[in-house]
A and B are shown apart, each in its own frame.
Chain A
Amino acid sequence: KNEVEQSPQNLTAQEGEFITINCSYSVGISALHWLQQHPGGGIVSLFMLSSGKKKHGRLIATINIQEKHSSLHITASHPRDSAVYICAVCGGANSKLTFGKGITLSVRP
């Protein structure tokens, strides 16, 4: 079983919709990262969380340490949000990241 599970696997939404992407993990962590990757493109760090909630523009990330769960929300989605969203957890002192498989989001105009 993968240590980091993301759901749904693929997601298609209509422009303007509110989108939620989930990430569950099974190990103790010091931090959780949400990453974005456009087709053929590099990785962009969206958030790093160790507790609570962070907001940046239309993106909101939350984490519940007790439940080992994090969500990434996109408000007023736009076609340019179409990308792969990857959840990665940091196990602690050695800072190696364990990655989820990523979720492919497609936002239709």
Chain B
Amino acid sequence: GAVVSQHPSWVICKSGTSVKIECRSLDFQATTMFWYRQFPKQSLMLMATSNEGSKATYEQGVEKDKFLINHASLTLSTLTVTSAHPEDSSFYICSARDLRTFDEQYFGPGTRLTVT
């Protein structure tokens, strides 16, 4: 089956630094990738939709200058949390939509970010 990887799986950083999270589709091409955020005991919240070769579409309330998304190829999207603060600590999950089957989305394992 289709596999989506995320790197790193967990990261601890100091307040004020930037962190980059990678999302890769390993055995399929994805024109669209989605970035989600999940707080403890809550469901996933869509942050942005990332389209290959174009600017990401951010959901209302998500700061585009805070959460930089780059989707440079059909297999890689990156989320950079800039000037991270403790309130950015969360579980970040990506999913990738298979180019061949528009409704099929495959989820990455997630990245746990802790900002101290």
Interface residues in chain A, defined as those with a beta carbon under 8 Å from any beta carbon in chain B: 30-31, 33, 35, 40-45, 48, 50, 86, 88, 90, 94-97, 99-102
The interface stretch among B11-19, B72-80, B107-115 is B107-115
When distances are taken between beta carbons in the complex, the residues of chain B under 8 Å from A41 are: 109-110
Task: Verify A95–B43 contact, CB threshold 8 A.
Answer: no
Question: How many angstroms from the CA of A100 to the CA of B42 in the assembled complex?
Answer: 10
Interface residues in chain B, defined as those with a beta carbon under 8 Å from any beta carbon in chain A: 6, 32, 34, 42-44, 46, 49, 93, 95, 97, 102-110, 112
Offer 26 A-B interface pairs, CB within 8 angstroms, sorted by A. A31-B103, A33-B105, A35-B107, A41-B109, A42-B107, A43-B44, A43-B93, A44-B107, A86-B43, A88-B44, A90-B103, A94-B49, A95-B32, A95-B97, A95-B102, A95-B105, A96-B34, A96-B46, A96-B49, A97-B34, A97-B46, A97-B95, A97-B105, A99-B43, A100-B43, A101-B42
When distances are taken between beta carbons in the complex, the residues of chain B under 8 Å from A102 are: 43
CB contact under 8 A between A48 and B103, given known A95-B32, A97-B46? yes
Find the A residue at minimum CB distance from B44: A99
State how many angstroms separate the Cβ of A47 from the closest Cβ of chain B: 11
When distances are taken between beta carbons in the complex, the residues of chain B under 8 Å from A45 are: 105-107
List the 4 closest pairs (A to B, CB-CB), nearest first: A42-B109, A42-B110, A43-B107, A31-B103
Known A43-B108, A96-B49, A99-B44; further 20 A-B contacts with Cβ < 8 A: A30-B103, A31-B103, A31-B104, A35-B107, A42-B6, A42-B93, A42-B109, A43-B93, A43-B110, A48-B103, A90-B103, A95-B102, A95-B103, A97-B34, A97-B46, A97-B95, A97-B105, A99-B43, A100-B43, A101-B43
